[in-house]
Amino acid sequence: MSDLTALTAVELQAALAAGETSSVEVTRAHLDRIAAEDGALGAFLHVTADAALARAAEVDASGTAGTGLAGIPVALKDVFVTEGVPTTSGSRILEGWRPPYSATVASRLADAGTVLLGKTNMDEFAMGSSTENSAYAVTRNPWDHDRIPGGSSGGSSAAVAGRLAPLALGTDTGGSIRQPAAVTGLVGHKPTYGSVSRYGLIAFSSSLDQAGPMARTVLDAALLHEAIGGHDPRDSTSIDAPVPTVVEAARRGAGGDLSGLRVGVVRELGGEGAREGYEQGVLDRFAEGVALLEAAGAQVREVSCPSFGLALPAYYLIAPSEASSNLARFEGMRFGIRVGDDGSHDVDEVMALTREQGFGPEVKRRIILGTYALSAGYYEAYYGQAQKVRTLISRDFSAAYDDVDVLVSPTSPTVAWPIGARVEDPLAMYAADLCTLPASLAGVPAISVPCGLSDGLPVGLQVMAPALADDRCYRVAAAVEAALGAPLTDRLLERAA
């Protein structure tokens, strides 16, 4: 066959089912591409080459290749614990740790017959928007190696956009699936909070973290979402409800008919009410995407959600507060590195030295911020007030959904910026999540779908829907994708040719 790494997951599924290729051939093609290209991209932290080929051979022998996702390679962000496979969450403090168990989503993918290619790079403990905060490497954008691939799931976005993997999982706390998907030309979906298990996901902010798919097409993302979704009794926040019919919705949306669907353009997120900080090229592509929705039959109107403007400060109080609690478990006693254990230091000193050398500067910044926000005398003024803002944001969503079926905005205010451009300016880095934070704080589903290029770099359109209405996100995203034609990443194929 032609280059197997150029095929989408759905195309690979068909080729496997027809006997035109094998899982071993597909897996080897992607491993060869990783060997050839990842030195420049830095997408992977650990590649499980031998285990991947052995697993692919098992799937071929079972005769199930091409059934569902069986036989198709996937990459996992290094925040999912995976039995026997190094798992670091992008941090030195977990260097060398091999978990004794697997995250639920990793187990579900294994049960579905997928082939694990390896673990992808990420901002340390998922804290960042550029994958420059990884303790191990800087990941680069396949569209321009001098630019960031987004974050914190930048390794996953670079792997899929660069054709090192047909599918990948990321996690989204404040936009860490959607923003990297937007700046690398991918589809990335943050499911309804609680609809995909968090068991085995190394926690950053427990009330916000959510695993989800990253892919080159909407249907590919839907297939991956379907494989990992559903109730998990080991996750106390898991919703006991059926997985939304996301695959059916993606296929329906690809027909391009959105007749009767009510779409709200969020005034405060790139609408007429908030344009400062948005690149003109992003606003132009977004406007064109909205026009495509109208052409497909959707009824479009502007909707105001005034509390969305408070999402950024609220998030950067809530998430660091939860992080300061979650990261207390990394003290050098139970797993990961241990510094100063030479007999000359007591336990408290060993813990302090381990954290000093094990945590990077951004993680330390957020732990300090969160600890301060939770401290006596400041809790109600900061963390308590932020939670009240979170309630207001949820109410804005509820009020909007009385009048419309979905909300839309740009996914990111800008295209991918040059590596190093925001490292010394945390506020500029945080602003990359301006559009994605409201859906995270409210726990509602949101998807990013490519809507064109600005100065040769991808732009994403975000679709948000009510809780457990993930299927609406996929339907609308598929309609945009169908109107634009081939997946945006095909432009990278053309450039390579």
Catalytic (active-site) positions: 77, 152, 176
Give the separation between CA 339 and CA 358, rounded to whole angstroms: 9
The span from the first CA to the last CA of the chain, in angstroms, equals 17
Angle at 249 between CA 243 and CA 252, to 5 degrees: 160
Q: Dig out the tokens for 397 from the structure.
A: 């969503």
Burial 411-425 (b: 16+ CB within 10 A, else e): bbbbbbbebeebbee
Tell whether the torsion through CA atoms of 108, 113, 114 and 118 is positive or negative: positive
Query: What one-character-per-residue DSSP string does 37-75 give?
Result: HHHHH--EEEE-HHHHHHHHHHHHHHT-TTSTTTT-EEE
Instruction: Compute CA 495 distance to the chain's CA centroid, rounded to the nearest angstrom.
Output: 26
Give the separation between CA 114 and CA 70, rounded to whole angstroms: 5
Number of H helices, E strands in the chain: 17, 11
Q: Dig out the tokens for 217 from the structure.
A: 């097409």
Give the separation between CA 31 and CA 118, rounded to whole angstroms: 10
